[in-house]
A and B are shown apart, each in its own frame.
Chain A
Amino acid sequence: MASTTAPSRNGPAGRQDTQPPHAHPSGPSVWRSRLHRWDTKGTPYALVAPFFLVFAAFGLFPLLYTGWLSFHRVSLYNVDRAEWVGLRNYADLFTGQVSHYFWNALLNTFTLGVLSTVPQLLMALGLAHLLNYRLRARGFLRTALLAPYATSVAAATLVFALIFSPEGGMANWFLGLFGAGPVHWEAGRWSSQFAISVIVTWRWTGYNALIYLAAMQAVPRELYEAATLDGANRWQQFLHVTVPALRPTILFTVIVSTIGATQLFGEPYLFGGQSGHQGGTDHQYETLGILMYDQGFHSSMLGRASAVAWIMFGLLLLIGLVNALITRRLRATQ
């Protein structure tokens, strides 16, 4: 290693203030090369350290603390008086007093997830495909797609709650045009889940469409030109050129949407008004996220809420695992 100011062994350390004098008997060059090695290896860690420190404080610690709480009986107002109950909270959820609500919430999370994710992604794909063609006002349309995503959950949900209101809501007015009777949207299991899915779909379709659009623009034009020459119409092009090229992107959006659906909270909570904390009078749209909130913050049972949190965490890990498996298989077939 070349150095213009290398000091002699017994000389002053010079400007190399990071190197202590008389550091090592085998000489400064050995010491320096070791320092250099630490430097190249250590600096990246130091640079990413802030993220991990913040993560440890706001991510890892709450995670572990929640795990610890889930083995205790503890109320919201005196956390320091936690009482060890072992696996009681988990047993309560799976087979005990709360099992009725837990399995109901798990099922609702699943049905709401399917109802809101599947149409959303299909519509996003279609929209992206249309926007990929030369259209008038394409820039405006693309920006407009992102507007719902930029709207806050609260604002969107309150507007949709009015639309689906039994007292002069727009949804019932629309049904009335076709002679259909008014629906009490919030009260029914399927009607309420449909309404909530509409909110989620409205908010996220544009976002996913933009992701698809970005991926589509990376598909070589020649493929479409070749397909056109072969006589493929737009639908066939979409099916045989666009979709296969988008496979990794589609997988990505499926995973992100699934995670979002597993954690669904704001829309059902706000949609329910007074009974939002328990996902409707009959718990008809109570998701796992709502159950966690209801147990922890409404019924003041933090231990049980923590157990729900850990079960949700486990579910997400499972989804991640499935994702990894599918990705590997996809790569193997390509």
Chain B
Amino acid sequence: MPHPTEQRARIRSVALASAAAALALALTGCSSSGDASASADGKITLTVGTFGTFGYKEAGLYDAYMKLHPEITIKENPTTVEGNYWTALQTRLSGGGLDDVQALEVGRISLATSEDLADAFADLSEAPGVDKKDYLPWKWDQATTADGRTIGLGTDVGPMAICYRQDLFKAAGLPSDPESVGKLWAGDWAKFVETGKRYQAKAPKGTYFMDSATGLFNAVVSSSTVQYYKDGKLAYKDSPSVKTGWDLAVKAVHGRTSQGLKMFDTPWQTAFSKSTFATTVCPSWQQANIQQFSGPSNKGKWNIAQPPAAGNWGGSFLAVPASGKHVDEAKKLVAWLTAPEQQAKVFQQVGNIPANQAAHDLPGVIDHKNAYIGPDAATGQIFSTAAKAIQPAETGPHAQDLTGAFSTGVQLMEQNGKSPEEAWNATVRQIDSTIQ
């Protein structure tokens, strides 16, 4: 029989050991796990954080880069929804765990280049292989800080067009070839809404002219040089484009020419395959959605026409967090991914319009035809013309939040049956409560 004291002592030491183990667990629990990226044989793993579809994997660019640089392995960490991606990115800016390359949406670029955040990202203007004059000048300027550091290289821009259903237009007695359709609303968004009324008067049963009035609102704002900011200040209340967009959205809602769907939500996706709406605002990245959600049975039914006014909706940048372990290698990768040849490949694969203007002149871009849309719609021609016509608008730190607040405001009228006044007041309240 063991000595009683000794036995207790052993129990106690076990207890203390487990307590120590628990403490050690607690202390190491939060530490970063990023140390594993550089292994003993000099191999480097670069991680790329993206949202939506950047098309690098689809175009085989990661594999191509790894072949060129056998010492590098690339891992993409994709997120579907940009909002979730941005939330995670902000958390990691404080807490660590950033990817070596981080994508930034155009609505966030003003905040990312502000004093608050710019230091978190490396300067890419002098990175090897980067040629400033390749990029669309306004795109380059958007990612450049007040003191001249360029923290993001443009991946794509979102020149707008209108995508429409030829079969539904025909059924409603409207012209259906791209040129005549474009003429229906050339030069004025109000004409677009008027066309909606014409469509609705003879519309096939159960169909609407447009998917969502939020799309219309955002398109009107996107095609103006004055959006939510003026002279560095929040100025949405006096912005002509916000007023025009809002009034047209009200008309579309009251004329019941919009199906009132929430863009990007599941019912919106379903509605594509059910062919319940005849038009959707079509920034270049929208082509991928149309093809994916409308499905093979609707091939050839969509076509694409010039919008009432040229504009830019969306588009992104690639940035390199300055705290990364392989900043130089990451810079090289970003310079390569945004170079003309690579952007052209992405365009051919997923339809993102290059932010790199040198890419537009490469074969296979300007003469590109989309086999799903039209019969062989000249999407390359349409979008690269639109991209060069884009007049950059002033943006600000909360641009993305404002887009969100106004989309919600229009939805309040469409979905929740609020009057325009109620919806406007709710939008202002939302903005006042979140933007200080």
Chain A residues proximal to chain B, CB less than 8 Å: 1, 3-5, 15-19, 32, 35-36, 39, 42-43, 46-47, 49-51, 53-54, 56-58, 75-80, 97-98, 100-101, 161-162, 165-168, 184, 186-188, 273-275, 277-278, 281-282, 284, 295, 297-301
Contacts and interface: CB of A to CB of B under 8 A. Distances in A.
Contacts of B29: 57-58
Interface string B246-276: 0000000000000000111111001100100
A281 B12 contact: no
22 contacts: A4-B3, A5-B3, A16-B6, A35-B5, A39-B8, A39-B12, A47-B15, A76-B87, A76-B93, A77-B117, A79-B94, A97-B432, A101-B433, A166-B267, A167-B274, A184-B415, A275-B411, A281-B408, A282-B416, A284-B416, A295-B434, A297-B91
Given A15-B3, A298-B83, A274 B264 contact: yes
Contact of A77 (B9, B25, B116): B116
Contacts of B416: 187-188, 281-282, 284
B405 to A, nearest CB: 10
Nearest to A42: B12
Contacts of A36: 5, 8
Interface string B115-131: 01100100000000000
A120 to B, nearest CB: 27
B289 interface: no
Interface string B94-117: 110000000000000000000011
B66 interface: no
Interface stretch (B16-24, B136-144, B147-155, B197-205): B16-24
Nearest to B27: A57
Contacts of B87: 76, 297-298
Nearest to A5: B3
Interface residues of B, number: 52
B116 A78 contact: yes
Contact of B270 (A5, A19, A167): A167
B90 interface: yes
B interface, by DSSP: helix, strand, loop or mixed? Answer: helix
A24 to B, nearest CB: 15
Contact of B26 (A57, A75, A295): A57
A77 B90 contact: yes
Nearest to A99: B433
Report the 8 A-B pairs with minimum CB-CB distance, sorted nearest first.
A57-B26, A46-B15, A50-B22, A77-B90, A76-B90, A299-B434, A167-B267, A49-B19
Given A39-B5, A49-B15, A282-B416, 15 more contacts: A3-B3, A18-B5, A35-B5, A36-B5, A39-B9, A39-B12, A43-B11, A50-B21, A76-B93, A77-B94, A77-B117, A165-B267, A165-B270, A187-B416, A297-B90
B183 interface: no
B172 interface: no
B380 to A, nearest CB: 31
B266 A161 contact: yes
A5 to B, nearest CB: 7
A54 B3 contact: no
A187 B411 CA distance: 10
